[in-house]
Amino acid sequence: MSVDAGTRSGDVHARQLAGLDALELTTRQRRGLASRTWSGIWPIASAVALVLVAWQLVVLAGWWPEYVFAGPVTTLGVLAERLGEAEFYTAVAVTMRRAVAGFALAIAVGLVAGALVSRIRPLRRAVGSLITGLQTMPSIAWFPLAILLFGLTESAIMFVVVLGAAPSIANGLIAGVDYTPPILLRAGHMLGLRRLRLYRHVILPASLPSFLAGLKQGWAFAWRSLMAGELLVIIANQPSLGEQLHFARELADSPGLLATMIVILVIGIVVDLLFGAADNALRRRWGLHQAAD
């Protein structure tokens, strides 16, 4: 075989490969933004409509007088009124500040605990099931102790929020580390990555999806604990959503109470959607779901 023939056959070979590559590359087109938004919105819209109808029917059935159980029209009227008041936004701001601070603290605690437990074997035997146990503990059961320890302060609320959220976050990280595909560990090992570098470049990124799931669950626990806390721990001059709920019940202000509940529900759903979007973006980047969307 002459050199010339050799290069030519190499060239043909490269072109064959390029041809196969072009044929095998999947061209997946994403649907337009409008169509995706619509497909995301209509199930939510119809669910909301369904709830409003059911609510109105219950009110019409007349099991309770209107001043005890307000109908959707009255409630939404009160809600619309509130949206125009500064006090409402102060309350939301206080609650969200607590939520964000508590959740951030829970992430820090969960990360450290998860990292330690997943790395140190004896610790994991001792603490591993304890973390799952903590997760099943209803957060409201912590409040008597929290109030004893910290009094009626924001620290008491934070204490319970962190205890509620951190176990889920730690568990997410631990599960992610545990289920790092062995083949990637072997590949990392072959590339010369050991110990901390293996942890940083392979194990941590590989556990990201599971960690994100832990964050999402942790948020749900944090939000619940926070609402329980704000109902129980009323701090003067700090209007919050939980406090509004408390006073609405004291004053038998049914539409106000229901309006606050709607706000709490909507905030919970919006944050959950944000986590869902992050999860989707991650999965798309990694090619984890090939479903049409």
C-alpha 126/C-alpha 253 separation (Å) is 49
CA dist 229 and 139 (Å) reads 9
* Nearest residue (CB) to other proteins, 19 versus 40: 19
* The residue to which tokens 């997760």 are assigned: 135
Helix, strand, coil % (nearest 5) of the chain?
80, 0, 20
As measured in angstroms, the least distance from the Cβ of 210 to other proteins is 13
**Minimum CB separation from other proteins for residue 2, in Å?**
8
Rounded Cα distance between 283 and 218, Å, is 20
Instruction: In whole angstroms, give the CA distance from residue 219 to residue 200.
Output: 25
Interface ranges with other proteins (CB under 8 A): 1, 3, 6, 10, 13-14, 16-18, 20-21, 24-26, 183-184, 186-193, 197, 201-202, 205-206, 208, 285-288
Task: Please state the closest distance from residue 286 (CB atom) to other proteins, in A.
Answer: 4
Nearer to other proteins, 207 or 260 (CB): 207
Contacts of 102 (CB under 8 A, 6+ apart): 157, 158, 161, 162, 165, 222, 225, 226
